Copies of this chain bind each other. A is one copy, B any other.
């Protein structure tokens, strides 16, 4: 552990307390555990000193009490699928894996809600509620591995957010443990509750810096019975965004509205070794989905097709059955992996701008492409939300590429803030985006946030070194 920080050591006395609390088989200090739990999808960070697996909320509380007594930093961790280091130690200490808290406790059809322990995989929760005709909409790309607790801690998004909203709109209540070991309950099973400050929403997106989320009550909605998926291709980004704006004007709210740029399509085509996925000359591809009652979906599908054609689509495919829909979605699902054919390192930034300003964002990306030797910048994302994944693809062994990626990153963040946007729409800050936070928040606002952090965590032991620059 860094010696210039006011933290205690992970010594044998401390480890003995952890073993007492969770059982010695659930405490590991071996090299493998320490490094595995010392990184996430970003593959950076500091190894843990010790990894613990509590088996209940009370054991989580016991671990936190021990960390408070010994002033040892502690990092709560779900599935570790994050891109910003949120679940990774900044300087050692305890990684608190929530892996054993993995039960769905309740699916309540009468009240349209589910109660789950934090480490239920989001995709499993979705399948369970869909089996009774209900729907939990948030669908981050990681949903088959990431957990509901992690999704809540990061406020995960996904393609369906345009119509249905991000994770925060579905969280009704939480059980969480403060760094002191005190257990709190926020919100509840009612959709309305104005007693006290909204701690539920404060904890959503707090990246494990305020409390350890152990249980989640989520709101469900009826499962839409019908979907229609459309794929439209355009020669330019601007034409695709025009189609999106026309849709908004036609008062249609698609359940998904994904934009993929030409660079990204090239990568998918190469990677899948398939015939061209889109007509030659395609500069932008839109994937759109409408859902709901069959009667409404047919009408909305027609409006979507019309809006795309009016905006100059070169081709519009419409899929009504599941197999054809899957085929249309294939290009989108293959995207992230496909980009690896372009360069070994991907720096994935989830910037967001008001959707009407997406063409300006792509103008900025075009300027960055022109001024960033050694870096490819395929970009795609949730255009309905103005949330675009801008991927800086480079060879980390090439110093020119590394330098120009660094400059492009800062120019990108400065640019989105100037466009009234945000440097992160769904991945969070973790430690990877720390230096850029002052581009978006004033020091008055940062200082206020630090005071809120201190209200929860006066010793600064819970996931320190995240979210705010020192």
Contact = CB atoms under 8 A, between A and B. Distances in A.
Nearest to A455: B451
A431 interface: no
Copies in the complex: 2
Given A190-B386, A195-B441, A442-B184, A448 B354 contact: no
A189 B154 CA distance: 20
B355 A197 contact: no
A168 interface: yes
A157 interface: yes
Interface string A173-200: 0000010001111101111111111110
Interface in A263-316: 292-293, 295-296, 298-300
Contacts of A6: none
Given A201-B202, A296-B292, A352-B190, A195 B427 contact: no
B253 A196 contact: no
B193 A422 contact: yes
A169 interface: yes
A453 to B, nearest CB: 8
A178 B292 contact: no
Contact of A251 (B168, B201, B222, B354): B222
Interface residues of A, number: 94
Interface in A135-170: 154-155, 157, 161-162, 165-166, 168-169
A190 B300 contact: no
A426 interface: yes
A425 B292 contact: no
Contact of A249 (B109, B183, B252, B299): B109
A445 interface: yes
A111 interface: yes
Interface in A343-368: 352-356
A437 interface: yes
Contacts of A382: 192
A178 B296 contact: no
B205 A198 contact: yes
A206 interface: yes
Given A110-B248, A168-B198, A190-B352, A184 B444 contact: yes
Pick from A154, A298, A300, A356 the residue with the most CB of B within 10 Å. Answer: A356
A186 B205 CA distance: 14
A396 interface: no
Given A169-B169, A184-B445, A198 B193 contact: no
A448 B113 CA distance: 27
Given A252-B222, A448-B184, A195 B387 contact: no
Contacts of A292: 296
Given A222-B253, A248-B112, A293-B296, A424 B195 contact: yes
Pick from A194, A421, A456 the residue with the most CB of B within 10 Å. Answer: A194
A88 interface: no
A5 to B, nearest CB: 22
Interface in A213-245: 221-223, 225, 245
A191 B160 CA distance: 13
Contact of A253 (B221, B386, B454): B221
Given A133-B251, A161-B191, A445 B196 contact: yes
Contacts of A198: 155, 168, 201-202, 204-206
Pick from A111, A155, A453 the residue with the most CB of B within 10 Å. Answer: A111
7 nearest CB pairs, A to B: A222-B251, A201-B201, A110-B356, A295-B295, A451-B455, A296-B296, A192-B425
Interface of A: 108-113, 133, 154-155, 157, 161-162, 165-166, 168-169, 178, 182-186, 188-199, 201-202, 204-206, 210, 221-223, 225, 245, 248-249, 251-253, 292-293, 295-296, 298-300, 352-356, 382, 385-387, 420-429, 433, 437, 440-442, 444-446, 448-449, 451-456, 467-468
30 contacts: A108-B356, A110-B354, A112-B248, A113-B354, A133-B251, A154-B194, A161-B191, A166-B192, A168-B201, A185-B442, A188-B422, A190-B354, A191-B386, A192-B352, A192-B422, A193-B352, A194-B205, A194-B427, A194-B429, A196-B429, A196-B467, A197-B206, A197-B467, A199-B445, A201-B204, A202-B452, A223-B251, A295-B296, A295-B298, A454-B455
